[in-house]
Every structure is written in C-alpha cells, then in structure tokens.
C-alpha cells in the first residue's frame, strides 16, 4: 500500500519542478528571517535570486552541527516563538544538544510523512502499533505516535524501558507492529524468552526499526528471533525526526527518501564535492517545506549512497542505502578505516555468539588498539576454555580477513553487555580520556 499515491509516485520531472519551487521559497524565507543564513549567503556572495536551478543550489554553503550549536538554543528558528508549538532536541551524546522547533503545520507535515512511512513498513488502519521508541525530547516516540494517529491505526504509547511490562502488554494487547530501535527489539526478544513468552505466538507482522545503524545480518537475526518482517526507518531531529526515509516492506532494499519535502545530496566528506548517484559519501539534506526550523544543505555525517532505479513497490522516490555508519564513528585502527556496523556484520555470521557486542578502542604506545567484546550464547557458555579460545581466535581471524583490521576478541558471559532502551552504545573510546 502507498499512503500518498500522488506524491510518492510522481514522475521525476514533476518531482524536480516541485522541489525547485519549494526550495526557492525556503531560501527566500531563511534569507529574510534567519540571520545565520543571511550572513552565510552574503559571505558566499549569493542571494536567493541567484538560485534558479537544482544545480545552482550546489553553490550554497553547508550547514553543520557546529553551526546549530553556535546558535543554541533557538537562534536558527525562522518563525516567532508564538508560532512554535513543539520543541525537541537531539540526545547530545556527542556534545551540546541541538534544539529544533515545529509549527502546527510542521507537526501536521511530519505526521503525514510518518503515516507514509508506517504504510511503507506494512501498517494499515487495522493495526495496533506497540511504540517502544522513547517519548520525550527524542523525536522517536512522539514522531511515530502522531504518524499512527494520522494513519488511523491504534498506538500503544509504551515508550522505552520497563521491559517486563512491555512483554505483558505484547502478550495481552496483541499488537501487530513493533516500533523501536533494533537493539531494543533484540532485548525485548531476550526478555520475552526469559519470561516464557514466545514471539512466535504473538501477533507481530512487521517491525519498523531505526535511530541507529544496524547491519543486514542484524536484520536477519531480528526477523528470526521476533518472527516478523523488519524494515528500516531513518531520520534525524535536525531535518525533522523519524520519517525522512523508510524502506518498503515489499523490497526491503534501500530507504525511499520523501523527496517532495527533503532534497538529498551525497558529498565527498573531505572535499565537499557533490557525488553522482551510486557513489558512497556523506548524506546532506535540505528541507523544503518546514516552517519553524528550515535547514539548508545540512551535513548529517551519515554515510550512504543514492539509488534512483525504480522500485517494485511503485514509489518513484530515490532510495538511500542502509546507513553504514557516521563519519564521526568511523574508527581508524592502525590506518585502517572501519565502521562498527562492519564488525557487526562479521560477528553475526559466526555461530555460538549473540548479537550483543561492544568495541573498546585504546591507545597503547601511540598505537590504536581495538578489543571486541562479544557475548557467547548460553549453549557455548559451558564449553571448555580451549574451545572458547578457539572461538576467539576464529572471530579475530574473520575480522582480519574481511576488514583488514587486527582486533583482540574477548568473549564475555551472556547478558554482561549493558542493554540499551534506545540507541545502543557500540563504541567505548578510551583514547579521548
Ligand atoms: O534518531 C530519529 C529517529 C527516531 C529515526 C526513530 C528513526 C526512528 P536523532 O536522535 O537526531 O534522530 O539521531 C539521528 O541517528 O543522523 C543517524 O546517525 C542515526 N540514525 C537514525 N536512523 C537511522 C537508521 C533520530 N535507520 C541520527 N540507520 C542520524 C542508521 C540511523 N542510523
């Protein structure tokens, strides 16, 4: 099913025309109302009138996370506070949080896009959605919540945490769709098993998971353990929240970007040069319908590529590949670049271990070292030390073979690695201490 059949299946020329018109209006508005954009455009010697095509647009300067921090908390808002009805903020795990605002119309647009995303992920009006994304300043909980109501399905606003109670609700209320981070979905599976509740007997058909990177192998693991079809949803608070892009459950192969509201670009993170379709680089977004917090050429730091080929679901919207990581969580271990999700892919292929891991980076004698902590399964737990040592060597060998990185592997007991209720902490970097 497609929620907005007109806008999700537009011919490319019609879509481009809409994008250009909306972009020009956005540029006029930010130039007139946000001092930051006016001075950036002036520094670059550009006025909104100079932008006449989507190619001209590539001359505009980028906006970075630092720019948002410099204008903390409300400096980038393009409307007076009396028109702002909602405020969210990013978690701020990598520094000061960034604060974003929404007008009533923005909330309506976001809800529409979330309704589209949920529909792409398999939801319909009859579904009951167990929403375990955190409610609060994080955009996940409320973003999904409003989308479900717009769609006309039923939402259980359970939020993250209190995991045992979640399992009881799942058993008793019979939700058909689960929304949570992929790491929390696995934790729910684990807790259910301990409580003797089998996911096989629950009513879930689809899970719509996002807010953190997760590998294709992790998807298979989740689908197997939770007995549902898992689709990927992407978004970020600076651009809106969840619902910027989503996979369709038909193809589960790349996330359709809602291009009638956001213009994506892929750039070389080192030079800022725009890269053609198919090439991997940093994702950049411009919002073209937002009122309170429009954003121009925002560098997301997320690494992906764009695929314009038609999709079996009928949507004409470009697809972004599953995000493999962020430019700022790329590890450089003795000169070799590696993303946590690549290590995850290798781990998931190995028998006898669980999908719970943490990467610890240290610096010894000026050299970076990587230790992979990974849980062994209950079954392997009772194996002899010799067997376990062999398993450690096997994992270390696979990481070296596939990724070219030397890593120490440390097997840990089941349930030792901290479970997260939202975004999982995959990397502990001791080098900064
Ligand atoms: O995580 C919004 C969201 C909520 C998306 C619920 C999906 C579901 P922020 O807290 O601002 O917003 O974090 C945004 O999370 O730049 C990515 O690095 C990462 N991220 C989000 N979705 C995905 C995904 C929400 N599907 C940052 N795959 C983004 C990989 C993701 N990374």
pLDDT digits (tens, 9 = 90+) for 233-268: 999 999 999 999 999 999 999 999 999 999 999 999
Confidence of residue 365 (pLDDT cuts 50, 70, 90): confident
Question: Sheet containing 262-267: which strands, arranged edge to edge?
Answer: 262-267, 281-287, 298-304, 325-326
pLDDT of 122 reads: 98
Q: Cβ distance 356 to 374 under 8 Å? A: yes
Residue 9 has pLDDT above 70, yes or no: yes
Query: φ and ψ at 331, to 5 degrees?
Result: -95, 140
pLDDT digits (tens, 9 = 90+) for 273-323: 999 999 999 999 999 999 999 999 999 999 999 999 999 999 999 999 999
β partners of residue 333 = 336
Pick the CATH number of 331-429 from 3.30.70.260, 3.30.300.30, 1.10.10.60, 3.40.1190.20: 3.30.300.30
Q: Cβ distance 35 to 4 under 8 Å? A: no
> CA 205 to CA 207: how far, in whole Å?
7
Structure tokens at 161: 């945490």
Confidence of residue 431 (pLDDT cuts 50, 70, 90): confident
Residue 334 has pLDDT above 90, yes or no: no
Q: Where are the alpha helices (DSSP H) in 121-215?
A: 139-151, 163-173, 182-194
Atom 14 (ligand 1): residue with closest C-alpha?
Answer: 236
pLDDT of 364 reads: 85
With the most atoms of ligand 1 within 8 angstroms of its CB, the residue from 63, 92, 211 to mutate is 211
pLDDT of 87 reads: 98
Q: Tell me the CA end-to-end span of the chain in Å, nearest whole number.
A: 50
> CA 343 to CA 298: how far, in whole Å?
28
235 Cα to the center of ligand 1, angstroms: 5
Residue 172 burial (CB < 10 Å; 0-12/13-18/19+)? Answer: exposed
- Longest CA pairwise span in the chain (Å): 72
pLDDT of 94 reads: 61
Q: Check pocket membership of 313 for ligand 1, CB cut-off 6 A.
A: no
pLDDT of 319 reads: 98
The total of other beta-carbon atoms located within 10 Å of residue 57's CB is: 21
Report the percent of the chain where pLDDT is more than 70: 99
Q: Cβ distance 429 to 361 under 8 Å? A: yes
pLDDT digits (tens, 9 = 90+) for 367-417: 889 999 999 998 888 888 899 999 999 999 999 999 999 999 999 999 999
With the most atoms of ligand 1 within 8 angstroms of its CB, the residue from 65, 116, 233, 236 to mutate is 236
Give the atom of ligand 1 at the shortest distance from the alpha carbon of 210: 26
pLDDT of 368 reads: 84
Q: Check pocket membership of 134 for ligand 1, CB cut-off 6 A.
A: no
Per mean pLDDT, which range of 98-112, 221-235, 253-267, 338-352 is the poorest?
338-352
With the most atoms of ligand 1 within 8 angstroms of its CB, the residue from 234, 257, 341 to mutate is 234
Structure tokens at 358: 């943490």
pLDDT of 149 reads: 98
pLDDT digits (tens, 9 = 90+) for 184-243: 999 999 999 999 999 999 999 999 999 999 999 999 999 999 999 999 999 999 999 999
Closest CA relative to residue 315, chosen from 256, 392, 403: 256
Q: What are the boundaries of each domain within the chain?
A: 1-328, 331-429
338 Cα to the center of ligand 1, angstroms: 20
Residue 432 has pLDDT above 80, yes or no: no
Question: Averaged over 85-112, what is the pLDDT?
Answer: 91
Tokens 């973003």 belong to which residue? 143
Q: Check pocket membership of 210 for ligand 1, CB cut-off 6 A.
A: yes
Domain 1-328: CATH superfamily is: ANL, N-terminal domain (3.40.50.12780)
pLDDT of 93 reads: 62
Q: Do domains 1-328 and 331-429 have the same CATH topology?
A: no
pLDDT of 162 reads: 96
Confidence of residue 89 (pLDDT cuts 50, 70, 90): very high
Q: Check pocket membership of 215 for ligand 1, CB cut-off 6 A.
A: no
Query: Mean pLDDT in the chain?
Result: 95
Q: Check pocket membership of 147 for ligand 1, CB cut-off 6 A.
A: no
3-state secondary structure of 433: coil
Structure tokens at 288: 């073209």
Residue 96 has pLDDT above 90, yes or no: no
> CA 186 to CA 179: how far, in whole Å?
12
Residue 433 has pLDDT above 80, yes or no: no
β partners of residue 286 = 263
> CA 116 to CA 147: how far, in whole Å?
8
Give the atom of ligand 1 at the shortest distance from the alpha carbon of 208: 8
Atom 16 (ligand 1): residue with closest C-alpha?
Answer: 236
> In degrees, to the nearest 5, what angle opens at C-alpha 213 toward C-alphas 276 and 341?
90
pLDDT digits (tens, 9 = 90+) for 54-81: 999 999 999 999 999 999 999 999 999 9
Q: Check pocket membership of 110 for ligand 1, CB cut-off 6 A.
A: no
In what helix (H) or strand (E) does residue 161 lie, and over which residues does it extend? Answer: none
Residue 91 has pLDDT above 80, yes or no: no
Q: Check pocket membership of 241 for ligand 1, CB cut-off 6 A.
A: yes
Structure tokens at 334: 């003795």
Assess whether the previous peptide bond of 73 is cis (omega < 30° from 0). yes
Q: What is the DSSP string of 65-92?
A: HHHHHHTTTTTT--S-GGG--EEEE---
5 Cα to the center of ligand 1, angstroms: 26
With the most atoms of ligand 1 within 8 angstroms of its CB, the residue from 135, 140, 235 to mutate is 235
């Amino acid at each position: 099913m497609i929620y907005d059949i007109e806008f999700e299946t537009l011919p490319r020329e019609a879509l481009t025309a809409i994008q250009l018109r909306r972009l020009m209006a956005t540029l006029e508005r930010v130039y007139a109302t946000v001092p930051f954009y006016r001075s950036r455009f002036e520094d670059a010697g550009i006025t909104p009138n100079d932008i006449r095509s989507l190619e001209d647009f590539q001359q505009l300067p980028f906006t970075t996370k630092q720019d948002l921090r410099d204008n903390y908390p409300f400096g980038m808002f393009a409307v007076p506070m009396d028109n702002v009805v909602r405020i969210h903020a990013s978690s701020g795990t990598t520094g000061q949080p960034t604060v974003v605002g929404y007008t009533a119309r923005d909330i309506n647009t976001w809800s529409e896009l979330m309704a589209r995303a949920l529909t792409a992920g398999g939801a319909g009006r009859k579904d009951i959605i167990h929403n375990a994304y955190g409610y609060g300043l994080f955009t996940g909980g409320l973003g999904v919540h409003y989308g479900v109501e717009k769609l006309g399905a039923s939402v259980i606003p359970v939020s993250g945490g209190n995991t045992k109670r979640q399992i009881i609700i799942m058993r008793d209320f019979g939700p058909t769709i689960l929304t949570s981070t992929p790491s929390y979905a696995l934790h729910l599976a684990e807790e259910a098993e301990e409580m003797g509740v089998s996911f096989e007997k629950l009513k879930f058909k689809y899970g719509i998971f996002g807010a953190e990177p997760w590998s294709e192998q992790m998807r298979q693991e989740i689908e197997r353990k939770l007995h549902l079809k898992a689709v990927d949803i992407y978004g970020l608070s600076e651009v809106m929240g969840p619902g910027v892009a989503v996979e369709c459950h038909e193809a589960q192969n790349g996330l359709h970007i809602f291009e009638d509201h956001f213009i994506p670009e892929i750039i070389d993170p080192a030079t800022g040069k725009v890269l053609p379709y198919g090439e991997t680089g940093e994702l950049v977004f411009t919002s073209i319908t937002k009122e309170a917090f429009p954003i121009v050429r925002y560098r997301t730091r997320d690494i992906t590529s764009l695929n314009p080929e038609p999709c079996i679901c009928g949507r004409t919207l470009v697809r972004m590949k599953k995000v493999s990581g962020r430019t700022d969580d790329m590890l450089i271990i003795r000169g070799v670049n590696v993303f946590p999700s690549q290590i995850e892919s290798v781990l998931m292929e190995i028998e006898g271990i669980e999908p719970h891991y943490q990467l610890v980076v240290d610096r010894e004698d000026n050299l970076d070292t990587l230790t992979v902590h990974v849980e062994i399964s209950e079954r392997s737990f009772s194996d002899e030390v010799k067997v376990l040592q062999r398993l450690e060597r096997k994992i270390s060998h696979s990481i070296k073979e596939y990724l070219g990185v030397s890593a120490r592997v440390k097997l840990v007991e089941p349930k030792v690695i901290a479970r997260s209720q939202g975004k999982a902490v995959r990397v502990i970097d001791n080098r900064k201490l």
